[in-house]
Structure formats: C-alpha cells, structure tokens
Structure 1
C-alpha cells in the first residue's frame, strides 16, 4: 500500500481581468495537466465579457505572456490583458515639458539630463 501513487491533487489557480476601478477575479480548482485555455473556459470569462477577445491583447501568468496550451501549476494567476488607456511615451513627454516649464517659472536652469 505504501507504493500506491497518491491521487492527483487539483490545481488551485485564479483568473483575473483588471478594469479601471474594478478587478474581475475567479478562483478555480482544475485537474492536474489543465492549460491556460482550460482555465479561461472554466472561469466563465467569455460569459462575463462576451465582446472581449482575451488573446487579442494577450494572456499571461504572473506578468509573463503565455500561450493557450501552456500547462498550469498550482497557485498560478492567469491574467487577461487589456489595452493601455494612455501612451507611455506621450505621458513621459508631457511630464518632461511640465518640469521644463516649472523650472523656467522658478528661474532655475538645470543641466541637461537631470530633468
């Protein structure tokens, strides 16, 4: 009896989708060998967000992009990504312009590269 393999334990995974001001989160128990696609199907994401195509913007596990057939490990967090609400380059440009204008108003000049 001591040599009998133990039955496979279910994987505990979560599926999340962050929206402005709200996070949609589902905790799941899946069989060993389950994939990211299995988790998305089991989570009910398609029913909750019928117009969102999760693979269009990407899906990942703990911030790393992954494929539908990737196998899950116990404790994984499947993340469904969405488009950015702003352009990071544009945001940096605006902050730099704001700092330059503030410096000019204060009458101080900073060396280049220290903006």
Structure 2
C-alpha cells in the first residue's frame, strides 16, 4: 500500500485535500477516482478541461504513483499569462514582480 493525497482548489480560497491509501502500482487517475472529488465537483473533466500534476509537475492520468505523492487537479487558466504580458507591453504598462499593480516611487 502507498499513502497519497489528492488536492483540488475549487476556488482560489477553497482547497480540498483527500488522503488515501492505495495499492502499489496505482495511477494518478486511480487516486482521483478513489478520492471522491469527481463526485463532489462535477465540473472536473480530466483530459479535456483539467490537467493533473504531482507536486507541481504535469502528470498523465496513467502515471504510476509513489508513496507520499500529492496529486493535484488543476483548474483551467482564465487567461494565458503570455498573452496578458504581451498586451501590457503593447500598452506600455510595467508590471512589478508578482503581477500586481506597479508600486509608486
């Protein structure tokens, strides 16, 4: 048996984390299914809308998990960060580190 966690941030303020014990050789998709998060959040659609990661690195549903792994279900991006930076540069606006408003000097 291996111990894993599955997390999903339904909103930026609310995150669900489920701890599980799974059979050795279980996949990321097995963990998501066993977590119950697909029933709690029907908007999750693996592959077409939501991607998976393990500790911040993209993972495929068929990737085999290891003891202690944390599977993360990612929400789709609302805006492409590269496109936002390009638009701001065209408008001549500067961004401070972290993407917030530019600080007054």
Q: After the TM superposition, which parts of structure 1 deviate over 3 Å for at least 4 consecutive aligned residues?
A: 93-96
Gaps of 5+ in 2: 95-104
Please list, as runs of the form range in 1=range in 2, the aligned pairs for 1:1-115 lying within 5 A after superposition. Answer: 10-18=1-9, 19-56=11-48, 57-93=50-86, 95-96=88-89, 97-99=92-94
1:90 Cα shift? 3.8
Summarize deviations over 1:37-95 as a string: whole Å, max 9, x none: 21011100111111320222311211222222221101101011111123312432455
CA RMSD of aligned residues (A): 2.0
Work out the number of aligned pairs and report it.
91
TM-score by length of 2: 0.73
Contact 1:13–1:27, Cα closer than 8 Å, also in 2:
yes
TM-score by length of 1: 0.67
Question: As a proportion of its length, which structure holds more strand?
Answer: 2
Gaps of 5+ in 1: 1-9, 100-105, 107-115
Counterpart-to-counterpart distance in 1, 2:60 and 2:82:
28
**Secondary structure, aligned partner of 1:55:** coil
Question: As a proportion of its length, which structure holds more helix?
Answer: 1
